[in-house]
Structure 1
Amino acid sequence: MPGPKDLDPSSSPRALLGAELRHAREKAGLSQGELGGRLFVSGSYIGQLEAGTRRMQPEYARLLDEVLGVDFFLRNCRAAAKSEYPEHFAEAAEAEARATAIREYAPLLIPGLLQTPGYARAVFRAYRPTAPEEEIDKLVAARIERAHLLHGPTELLLWAVIDEAALRRVTGGPGIMAEALRHIVGITEAHQAIVQVLPFSAGAHAAMEGAMKLMDFEAAPPLVFFEGVGTGRLEDAPSVVRLQRLTYEHLVASALSPQNSLALLTEMAQDYAHEEHP
């Protein structure tokens, strides 16, 4: 019987890799938990690999080949690892594309799915002050492409809590900020996202230590993504996910209502537009 074929990078390598993993695991008579135990990872991690929500790392691909008695995963995991996103964010972006619900707290900048090209360009130029313009163009294009999730055929719940600090920081100039806030207003009024503003008046709150992104999936356990300067990590431990979900609920309770948030965003957009054209 012929062995499994190499993955075609032009298709969906991660989905095919996950399907092959499920087939090989079931053929070996192992549950997700049993296979995870042999790799010293959780059963939910194996489930996420099979669902295509997690990227298969080479060290795990090698162990899977050994445990399952195949010569497939290490050869093909590199095809599934190709991404247009920065390395620290690539796995989260690909998981995001498969999510059914995303709940995000953004303390310092407008969430990527809600950014305009002008705002994204200002952010990336600040990150990479000496990068060639072509590199910035690619990063901006990839970020704006992500926003197509809001207009796709599947219903995605995007619920963002944005700190007032992110809205007050003039990124790219008043004109760019006016456009960025009007864009959020438009998305909110089109019922493509729920947006709440966490005002300065809320004082101390449950997520003062940083940003978070919770992602739920139809056929895989939830994930939470933590991001820092040039780094990021996905967590699937149930205790971590539960804590971050509770934290997010506290933020929602402390934030302005969606209606009052919309009013504030509209007012701030007008103020920025006035600064641009006094």
Structure 2
Amino acid sequence: MAARKDIDGSVSVPAFYGKELRWKREAAGLTLQQTVEGSFYGASYLSEIERGHRRMPEELARHVDRVLRTDGFFARCCEDVRKAGNSRPAPCFAEALQMEARARGIEEWNSTVIPGPLQLEPYFREIIRVAHPQYDEEKVAELVAVRRSRACVYEEADGPASWTVLHESVLRQPVGGDELMAEQLAHVANVAGRRRFIVQVLPSDAGLHPYMTGSTFLMSFSDAPPVVYTEGSYSGQIHDDPNIVMEYQQAYNRLRAAALPPEESLRMIEAAAEDYASGNRARRLEHRRFASRGLRSRPRGVRRPRR
């Protein structure tokens, strides 16, 4: 069992809030699971709040106040915590991050990974490990804090109207193993099922489409012209020229038309999560490995009879 990590409340306002939450919970003698019972949130969600990696929704804050008998403390403070900044984002994303915070609508496309605001910490850590193996734990923790602070974009009821199109390969390409992918995809389905966030999946056999490379998201505002942010592995660029933005918007409309309908897309994501969780995916891969060698899969420990 991994050692329990202390929380440094001086790092940020969310970390201070999370440390106080953990102290109150443990003082009441309750586990994470016991604390969230009766709410619509899971123990891992509350754990991320305690570590300062996720904002506390007001609904959950009121529930925690009732369970821990904290006289409305967490509900009163959760809005201040939500507004507080966590850390410095990567330079290429700093301006886009500021725009994201005040966007009225967001439309996103990603061909390779789950969109950033929907990524749980284990999933994001795997991506960092591959992209930046030289980073130490302090740097990784800083990036995780920034990434999780963006969860409100999709997860809070007052967030911008959001629309995301994912390539089917995002569901099929495992990141960090089956258990991690099961949790991550279940999280995406859960968020999509309970607020304005709409997800579509572009099937692998859809053929050519307008967004063949990289990730893109379009942001619209109530008090400013729309912009487009495009991002590669190590750089990003903001486009605000009206003609370019219009081209991206029209391409995104065609992309949505080629993708599966939202209801069918959500069922596909839920099925993929169940596939990882049940071990069906692993069994199919094992069967394929045997088939490629001209062998039939057989129970482990059973030897092929001699001829």
Decide: shared fold, TM above 0.5. Answer: yes
Alignment of 1:35-50 (within 5 A): none
For 1:164 and 1:245, how far apart are their aligned partners in 2? 21
TM-score normalized with structure 1 length: 0.67
**Structure 1 residues 269 and 153: CA distance shift in structure 2, 3 A:** closer
Which residue number corresponds to residue 142 of structure 1? 146
- Structure 1 CA distance, aligned partners of 2:94 and 2:129? 19
Q: Which runs of 4+ in 1 moved over 6 A?
A: none
**Matching residue of 1:188:** 192
Q: 1:235 aligns with which of 234, 239, 243?
A: 239
Match of 2:98 in 1: 94
Alignment partner of 1:265 is 2:275: no
Which residue does the alignment assign to 2:75? none
Indicate the residue corresponding to 1:35 in structure 2. Answer: none
TM-score by length of 2: 0.61
Counterpart of 1:225, as a letter, is Y
Q: Secondary structure at the match of 1:84?
A: coil
Counting matched residue pairs gives 197
Q: Following the alignment from structure 2 to structure 1, what is the Cα–Cα distance between the partners of residues 118 and 162?
A: 10
SS of alignment partner, residue 262 of structure 1: helix
- Classify the secondary structure of the residue corresponding to 1:102: strand
How big is each residue's C-alpha offset from its partner over 1:45-101, in whole Å with a ceiling of 9 and x where there is no partner?
A: xxxxxxxxxxxxxxxxxxxxxxxxxxxxxxxxxxxxx96111111111111111000
Q: Distance in 1 between matches of 2:261 and 2:169?
A: 17
CA offset at residue 155 of structure 1? 4.1
Code of the residue aligned with 1:197 in structure 2: it is: V
Q: Give the residue type in structure 2 aligned to 1:119.
A: Y
Determine which of 249, 255, 272 is the counterpart of 1:251. Answer: 255
Distance across 2 between alignment mates of 1:92 and 1:126: 24
Secondary structure at the aligned position of 2:153 is classed as helix
**Deviation (angstroms), 1:205:** 1.0
Tell me the amino acid that sits aligned with residue 102 of structure 1.
I
The Cα of 1:198 is off from its aligned counterpart by: 0.5
Contact kept, 8 Å, 1:124 with 1:140, in 2: the verdict is no
* Distance in 2 of aligned mates of 1:238 and 1:228: 22
Q: SS of the residue aligned with 1:206?
A: coil
Q: Is the 8 A contact 2:109 2:165 kept in 1?
A: yes
Aligned pairs for 1:18-37 (under 5 A) are: none
Give the RMSD, CA atoms, in angstroms: 1.8
User: Displacement, 1:277?
Assistant: 9.0
Query: Which segment is superposed worse, 264-273 or 143-152?
Result: 143-152
Written as runs of structure 1 = structure 2, the 5 A alignment for 1:192-207 is 192-207=196-211
Gaps of 5+ in 2: 1-85, 284-307
Describe the SS at the equivalent of 1:225: strand
Instruction: Letter of the 1:217 partner, please give it.
Output: F
User: How much identity, in percent, do the aligned residues show?
Assistant: 39
Q: Deviations over 1:221-258 (max 9, x none)?
A: 10000111211110100110000001100110000111
Q: Which of 1 and 2 has higher RCO (CA within 8 Å, sep 6+)? A: 1
Match of 1:211 in 2: 215
Give unmatched runs, 5+ long, in structure 1.
1-81
> Counterparts of 1:203 and 1:143 in 2: how far apart (Å)?
32
**Which residue does 1:108 correspond to in 2?**
112
Q: How many Å separate the matches in 2 of 1:107 and 1:174? A: 20
Q: CA deviation at 1:153?
A: 6.7
Is the 8 Å Cα contact of residues 111 and 213 (structure 2) preserved in structure 1?
Answer: no
Letter in 1 for 2:235: T
CA distance in 2, matches of 1:131, 1:112: 19
CA distance in 2, matches of 1:152, 1:270: 25
